[in-house]
Amino acid sequence: MNLEGLKFSKMHGLGNDYVVIDESKEELIAENEKTDFSIEVCTKGFSIGADGVIFITPSSGEGEEKGDIRFRIFNADGSEAEMCGNGIRCFSKFIYDYNIIKKDIIKVETLGGIKTVEITAENGLSKLFRVDMGLSTFKTKNIPMIAEVDEFLEKDLIVNGEAIAMTTVNVGNPHAVIFTENTEDIDLDNYGPAIENHEAFPERINVHFVEIISKNEIVMLTWERGAGYTHACGTGATSCVLAGNKLGVLDNKVLVHLPGGDLEIEVYEKENELGAFMKGDAKLVFNGEMI
Ligand SMILES: N[C@H](CCC[C@H](N)C(=O)O)C(=O)O
């Protein structure tokens, strides 16, 4: 793939890093090349190296599904995901700071539905992002959702011969949440891929281990679908808090400690379903051009 002259930005949210490609004015990577492109540029050591690629593309929705702009995210393995919490903060920083859309509240089209992003800025530059991650939908891709505690815990998942109790949550993309005494004891390189690729999850799944500090504070560890270990996962943090809130072990407002930093998650209830806000920052590390 000849990428000579292609301009890109390298951004991250709590160390969960992305190559950002601005296609708001024209398509730069052909649709049938986006997967291979993502694999190539995410490969550490041989190219830019990242957890994934974010494409900024024009709005394509109709009616209620129409937003100001469209967000697409491809994992390092080339798979396209429905949504990315750290990524949508990077995306929002890019479009605000580069004046693509200079509004304090933007509606972003994603494969996981419309996400509303509230931007806090200083001197014309965005600093903080509060994202309405939407309701934890039920039925998307037939992944068993937050089940009632009794029912689900009786259906522990057998992983490498061991029964593991978990709660699955979908916030546009799928997550398996496992509460544990101590995240430092987790053999992530073993359990992560075993659960990510388990036959129970035909679409695969993001995997998170959660240690409860209090009803308002957790520590978590993540193995991401299509990316492996990452320093942080925004949709994952949201899912862990939603799962804990549903199980009655977490309050609505929770401070989440991830290896790369902290996120604030606030659960809300709407139409008898649970949704959440995620608040955090995003960083632009450098702008580059492929040779
Ligand atoms: N690996 C995820 C996409 C990226 C999510 C994560 N980086 C976040 O911040 O939410 C998936 O395949 O669903």
206 close to ligand 1 (CB < 6 Angstrom): yes
Q: Distance between CA atoms of 163 and 160, rounded to whole angstroms?
A: 8
Question: For all residues of the chain together, what is the average pLDDT?
Answer: 92
What ipTM was reported for this prediction?
Answer: 0.98
Active site residue 84: yes
Q: Name 10's bridge partners.
A: 19, 286
Q: Ligand 1, from 35, 225, 278: best to mutate by most atoms within 8 Å of Cβ?
A: 225
**Domain boundary assignment for the chain:** 7-133+281-289, 140-277
87 close to ligand 1 (CB < 6 Angstrom): yes
Active site residue 42: no
Q: Name 291's bridge partners.
A: none
Q: What Cα–Cα distance (Å) separates residue 222 from each residue in 113, 190, 239?
A: 23, 12, 12
256 close to ligand 1 (CB < 6 Angstrom): no
Q: 2: which 2 tokens?
A: 């000849």
Better-predicted residue by pLDDT, 279 or 202: 279
265 close to ligand 1 (CB < 6 Angstrom): no
For the segment 168-184, the average pLDDT, to the nearest whole number, is: 90
Q: Distance between CA atoms of 3 and 11, rounded to whole angstroms?
A: 19
One of 3.90.1640.30, 3.30.70.360, 3.10.310.10, 1.10.10.10 is the CATH number of 140-277, namely 3.10.310.10
Residue with tokens 């790369």: 260
What is the architecture of the domain spanning 7-133+281-289?
Roll (3.10)
Separation of 172 CA from ligand 1 center, angstroms?
Answer: 10
Atom of ligand 1 nearest to the CA of 52: 4
Separation of 152 CA from ligand 1 center, angstroms?
Answer: 24
Q: Is 206 annotated as a binding residue?
A: yes
7-133+281-289 shares its CATH topology with 140-277: yes
Q: Distance between CA atoms of 267 and 125, rounded to whole angstroms?
A: 28
Q: 52: which 2 tokens?
A: 């994934």
pLDDT tens for 124-139 read 999 999 999 998 754 3
Which of 42, 90, 233, 240 is catalytic? The answer is 233
Q: What share of the chain has pLDDT > 70, as a percent?
A: 93
